[in-house]
Structure 1
Amino acid sequence: MTDPISDFLTRLRNASKAGQSQCVAPHSKMKESLATILKAEGFVRDVTTGTDERGHKTLVVALKYVDNTPVITGLKRESTPGRRVYFSYTDLPRVLNGLGMAIVSTSKGLMKDQDARRNKLGGELVCTVW
């Protein structure tokens, strides 16, 4: 697998569209911090870690629905392994004029675009969520 973050976002997108209650993905620190940001912003219900039958660590994300409609209506991977996208804090894009959010990888870790602007930190634009 060349892009595990894109794989994780695709798993979330597909599980959400299919009406699944949870999504299971291989664990990594970056995926876990991305999922905790989504939980803090109310896009998912819960994030836990577990193990599969072979003993590998997994990340279990409980998806959130309102009236059987998924809260996550869109996920887009912005920076890919073949094309990295970097922004300074003044140039960070607004997603749906502030209704969505962008997740930025900064020197202080992953954070949403509002926190990056507040802390005057730029970095790699990982994905956008709305």
Structure 2
Amino acid sequence: MPVTDSIADFITRIRNAGRARNKTTDIPYSKLRENMSQLLLEKGYIKNFTVITTEKFPIIRVDLKYGATGESAIKEITRVSKPGRRVYDGKDIKKYLGGLGLYILSSSKGIITDKEARAQGVGGEVLFRIY
């Protein structure tokens, strides 16, 4: 079945896998999803990800990260900008949860966090928030 919002699909697959306590989840490949996975890896929200080329189409296998007591490293992951309501923010983007969480933006510099956007003085579309 075709997906109309690939970012929401990415977020939902990660959220559902975390709630089900799955170790990994498979996500259909796209360059945007690979970049978002790389950013989540750099910020410590996932353990690892690999791009797997299958006969039909490539997938991204995301290894989820859990704490010592079994709680997910991702407490909340929510889509902000949606196809029906795009949300953009300038270079003075506010901190999410006072800096405890992150906004992930799509900017002219690529997929970056709110902290990086403030440091570089750029804005962009707010894709999702995570903590």
- Per the TM superposition, whether the score is higher than 0.5 is yes
Residue 100 of structure 1: aligned partner? 101
Deviations 1:38-78 (A, max 9, x none): 000000000110034x4201011100000211000100100
Residue 115 of structure 2: aligned partner? 114
SS of the counterpart of 1:96? helix
- 1:94 Cα deviation after fit: 1.4
C-alpha separation in 2, matches of 1:108 and 1:98: 21
- 1:95 Cα deviation after fit: 1.3
What value does the CA root-mean-square deviation take over the aligned residues?
0.9
Runs (4+) of structure 1 moved beyond 6 Å?
none
- Using the size of structure 1 for normalisation, the TM-score is 0.95
Deviations 1:86-113 (A, max 9, x none): 01011x1311110110101100111011
Residue 30 of structure 1: aligned partner? 32
SS of the counterpart of 2:50? strand
Residue 71 of structure 2 is aligned to residue 69 of structure 1:
yes
Give 1:9's match in structure 2, choosing from 11, 20, 35.
11
Identity %: 37
C-alpha separation in 2, matches of 1:73 and 1:36: 19
Structure holding more strand per residue: 1
Unaligned runs of 5+ in 2: none
Residue 15 of structure 2 is aligned to residue 39 of structure 1:
no
SS of the counterpart of 1:65? coil
Unaligned runs of 5+ in 1: none
